[in-house]
Amino acid sequence: MKNTIVVGAQWGDEGKGKLVDVLAEKSDLVVRFNGGGNAGHTVMHAGETYKFHYMPSGMLHKKTCILGTGVVINPKDLIAEIESFTATGHEPDLKISARAHVIFPHHQMIDAKGGGKIGTTGRGIGPTYSQKASRINLRILDIIADDAVARIKEALKDVREMLIADALFSADEFAAYCESVSSEYAEYGKNFKPFVTDTEDLVRVATIAGKSVLFEGAQGTLLDLNYGTYPFVTSSATLAAAAFVGGGAIPGVPIRILGITKAYTTRVGEGPFPTELDGDAAVNLREAGHEYGATTGRPRRVGHLDLYALRYAVRISGIQELAMTKIDTLAQVDNVKVCTAYKIDGKRIDYFPADAPTLEKVEPVYTDIEPIQALTKEEWIGLQGASKDQLPPSIKNYIKFIEDFVEIPITILSHGPERNETIVF
Ligand code: GDP
Ligand code: IMO
Ligand code: MG
């Protein structure tokens, strides 16, 4: 099987973790290439629920799992995640890029102070990536070095004035912080040392040997720093292209790009959301889909499927096929509609607005969809191996409508959170 990139085609939480778990069975390596602990990827298998924030969702298949160079890592949180996974009887086979950047407590403090207007996850993601771009941050290779304590203290000099000016520390507090955080992080470095390697080279060697590499994106295309709904985005690239930069996917080697979309739309945090529902309709969909954030527990904003935004995501990310999740949830609500166009001042537009205030004021144009037939778990299981034509007409028609609009096929349909609640066409 050739290499595959899995990316979110909406604003995150599309079900990437579930699909990566499904696809990991036939993969040799699974690689995270962007984001950090802002991600919350849920895998449900054999009645157990696993929430991965760092570790790739291929872990349950005992595959070699990689945190690539594009990922930002809070060592304390990653160690806690490894320990809780190990406590459930699993043995993680994890490799960490020496070049991945490190999240420190002061990044989280800056995020906590300034992240409110975006509604960030508070995990220190933006400040870490911005100090990476400013070339003043430390990487995993620094905290595993023999002189890690000195390297950390030296790097902290670059942020001292800013942190004191922002009233996050007094001068005395900062001096104490330097002492404590440098020894704490050097200790994490000792823990990490056995896992750290040149992960891109592992991917290269595996690819050349004909092995199959699965790249797991975090967040979603509409949260991409360059092409998402800026400034209401995350601080990394989330497009499929990010797998080449942050994960070691090799340009020119054939690759399958699979986008994940829910059968409707959700968003966590602030920012424009043209098809957002409110009132009882929102409550019904949120409760039917248990739409609460896997990382922060915040209620997710919910809305109709926005095909206009989805088609933009497909085009900008180069998505070749889609997996659609949560069709079972959509079957539990009334008044299903999809958005097929945006209007501004009564006129249809033919572009996806780059400007957030413009996107705030677009008027979605809807097409009514026949109610999606609800099936029992047994009826769904009876459809394992079915072709699209063998699906109940309302589901078959919904898939066809979406495929015609976004101009790529839906090749996987997910009808529940468990691994086996999946139909591959
Ligand atoms: P991710 O961030 O893209 O991995 O998605 P999350 O894990 O944050 O959120 C997706 C949620 O939907 C998780 O709770 C999954 O267990 C759940 N899920 C995934 N696919 C399906 C599906 O087809 N049906 C239902 N009912 N739940 C699903
Ligand atoms: P997964 O991988 C949904 C959102 C936050 C906020 C914005 C910026 O589980 O799909 P950040 O903490 O990244 O600086 O927050 O991005 N966000 C997500 N929303 N799923 C995610 O990840 C997200 N990661 C970040 O809610 O609006
Ligand atoms: Mg999530």
Domain 3-72+200-424: which topology?
Adenylosuccinate Synthetase; Chain A, domain 3 (3.90.170)
Active site residue 90: no
Active site residue 41: yes
* Active-site position among 21, 28, 41, 106: 41
Mutate to test the pocket of ligand 1, among 296, 325, 415 (most ligand atoms within 8 A of CB): 325
Residue 110 alpha carbon to ligand 2 centre in Å: 17
> Is the pLDDT confidence value at 115 over 80?
no
How do residues 70-88 score in pLDDT, each as one tens digit? 999 999 999 999 999 999 9
Instruction: Dump the DSSP string for 316-374.
Output: HHT--EEEEE-HHHHTTSS--EEEEEEEETTEE-SS--SSHHHHHH-EEEEEE-PPPPP
Mutate to test the pocket of ligand 2, among 117, 125, 268 (most ligand atoms within 8 A of CB): 268
Q: Which atom number of ligand 1 is nearest to the Cα of residue 220?
A: 3
Q: How many angstroms separate the CA atoms of 93 and 110, rounded?
A: 33
168-181: b or e for each residue (b if 16 or more CB lie within 10 Å)? bbeeeebeebbeeb
> How distant, in Å, are the alpha carbons of 117, 202, 280, 294, 337 from that of 51?
26, 26, 29, 7, 31
> Is the pLDDT confidence value at 1 over 60?
no
CB burial of residue 83 (10 Å; 0-12, 13-18, 19+) = exposed
Instruction: Dump the DSSP string for 82-95.
Output: HHHHHHTT----EE
Task: Report the mean per-residue pLDDT for the chain.
Answer: 96
- At 131 the pLDDT is 97
The ligand 2 site (C-beta within 6 Å) comprises: 8, 11-13, 38-41, 118-121, 123, 125-126, 218-220, 223, 234-235, 268-269, 294
Q: Which residue is listed with tokens 């056995």?
A: 194
Helix boundaries (H) for 209-290: 242-246, 279-288
How do residues 30-64 score in pLDDT, each as one tens digit? 999 999 999 999 999 988 999 999 999 999 999 99
Residue 289 alpha carbon to ligand 1 centre in Å: 9
Token pair listed for 388:
């699209």
Strand (E) positions, 112-253?
Answer: 196-197, 213-220
Count of residues for the chain? 425
Please name the residue whose Cα sits nearest to atom 14 of ligand 1: 42
DSSP secondary structure letter of residue 276: B
The ligand 1 site (C-beta within 6 Å) comprises: 8, 12-18, 40-42, 44, 294, 325-326, 328-329, 414-417
How do residues 299-346 score in pLDDT, each as one tens digit? 999 999 999 999 999 999 999 999 999 999 999 999 999 999 999 999
Mutate to test the pocket of ligand 1, among 18, 43, 57, 60 (most ligand atoms within 8 A of CB): 18
Token pair listed for 413:
């349909």
Helix (H) or strand (E) holding 347: strand 347-348
DSSP secondary structure letter of residue 305: E
Whether domain 102-194 has CATH 1.10.300.10: yes
Q: Which atom number of ligand 2 is nearest to the Cα of residue 294?
A: 9
Please name the residue whose Cα sits nearest to atom 15 of ligand 2: 120
Domain ranges of the chain: 3-72+200-424, 102-194
Cβ 10 vs Cβ 266: under 8 Å: yes
Q: Which residue is listed with tokens 């998505």?
A: 319
> Is the pLDDT confidence value at 294 over 90?
no
Please name the residue whose Cα sits nearest to atom 13 of ligand 1: 42
Sequence letter at residue 314:
V
The answer to whether the peptide bond before residue 274 is cis (omega within 30 degrees of 0) is no
- At 296 the pLDDT is 85
Q: Average pLDDT of 387-396?
A: 97
Q: Which atom number of ligand 2 is nearest to the Cα of residue 13?
A: 10
- How does residue 114 score in pLDDT terms, banded at 50, 70 and 90? confident
Question: Which ligand is in closest contact with the Cα of 20?
Answer: 1
How do residues 120-171 score in pLDDT, each as one tens digit? 999 999 999 999 999 999 999 999 999 999 999 999 999 999 999 999 999 9
How do residues 211-230 score in pLDDT, each as one tens digit? 999 999 999 999 999 999 99
Q: Average pLDDT of 12-25?
A: 98
- At 308 the pLDDT is 98
